[in-house]
């Protein structure tokens, strides 16, 4: 599954909520895009996940600009103010809620089984805000893909929780190896720390052709 932002932007000019972004995430190829403004990562994630229509450019899933299909197939993971569980919840509480939302059994045994499968037994009662970042990313991503229709993930600024960037990147790579499409919205500093190529912010990119314009 290929998720592509084509000069996607919200607003115009300096101070716009989201400057034009172009990035591709595909099977076997994780996507990374750096957004530095205060609310930009959340806006970028909403646009990439089909939850917000860009004012310019477009978002394509396997070449289609069907926002409903994008929303059904792509889950937002740890997006501030949108898909970020309360930090005071324990791991067990987060798992129970997400199992129920996915329409799965959420009894004590089912919660314990899932936590054990993720190697988080020792963190069952750990508050989410105290969970190491790589384990937080693993937990929230694995809960997102419990929904059978989800084949792609948009992960938002995991570096804001601290920890080793390389550790949570290993989680991203593992998901990609399992044929999930993963787009990470992060910062230039995090990408540089992980020695990854820095993505371009396409400030002067033209809008896509009418055939790919979601409006």
For the chain, the domain total comes to 1
| Predicted pLDDT at 156 | 97
Examine residue 67 and state whether it is found in any structural domain, yes or no: yes
pLDDT tens series, the chain, 215 aa: 999 999 999 999 888 999 999 999 999 999 999 998 889 999 999 999 999 999 999 999 999 999 999 999 999 999 999 999 999 999 999 999 999 999 999 999 999 999 999 999 999 999 999 999 999 999 999 999 999 999 999 999 999 999 889 999 999 999 999 999 999 999 888 888 765 554 444 444 443 333 333 33
| Predicted pLDDT at 196 | 59
Examine residue 130 and state whether it is found in any structural domain, yes or no: no
CB distance 33 to 142 below 8 Å: no
| Predicted pLDDT at 190 | 86
Examine residue 108 and state whether it is found in any structural domain, yes or no: no
CATH number at residue 15: 3.40.50.300
Torsion angles phi and psi, residue 163, rounded to 5 = 85, -170
Examine residue 104 and state whether it is found in any structural domain, yes or no: no
Gap between the Cα atoms of 193 and 161, Å rounded:
15
pLDDT, one tens digit per residue, over 133-148 is 999 999 999 999 999 9
| Predicted pLDDT at 204 | 46
Classify the phi-psi angles of 176: left when phi > 0, otherwise alpha if psi is within -120 to 50, otherwise beta. alpha
Examine residue 138 and state whether it is found in any structural domain, yes or no: no
- Domain of residue 197 covers 3-86+150-212
Examine residue 134 and state whether it is found in any structural domain, yes or no: no
Q: Which strands, in side-by-side order, build the sheet including 152-156?
A: 31-34, 181-186, 152-156, 74-77
């Amino acid at each position: 599954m290929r998720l592509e932002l084509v000069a996607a932007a919200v607003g115009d000019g300096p101070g716009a909520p989201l400057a034009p972004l172009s990035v591709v995430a595909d099977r076997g190829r994780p996507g990374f895009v750096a957004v530095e403004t205060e609310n930009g990562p959340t806006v970028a994630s909403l646009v990439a996940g089909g939850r917000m229509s860009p004012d310019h450019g477009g978002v394509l899933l396997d070449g289609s600009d069907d926002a409903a299909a994008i929303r059904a197939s792509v889950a937002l993971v740890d997006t501030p103010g949108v898909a970020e569980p309360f930090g005071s919840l324990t791991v067990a509480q987060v798992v129970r809620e997400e199992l129920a939302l996915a329409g799965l059994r959420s009894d004590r045994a089912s919660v314990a089984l899932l936590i054990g499968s993720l190697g988080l037994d020792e963190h069952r009662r750990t508050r989410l805000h105290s969970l190491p970042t790589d384990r937080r990313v693993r937990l929230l991503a694995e809960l997102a893909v419990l929904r059978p229709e989800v084949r792609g993930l948009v992960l938002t600024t995991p570096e804001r929780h601290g920890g080793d960037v390389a550790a949570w990147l290993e989680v991203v790579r593992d998901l990609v190896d399992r044929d999930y499409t993963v787009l990470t919205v992060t910062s230039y500093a995090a990408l540089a720390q992980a020695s990854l190529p820095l993505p371009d912010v396409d400030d002067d990119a033209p809008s896509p052709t009418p055939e790919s314009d979601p409006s």
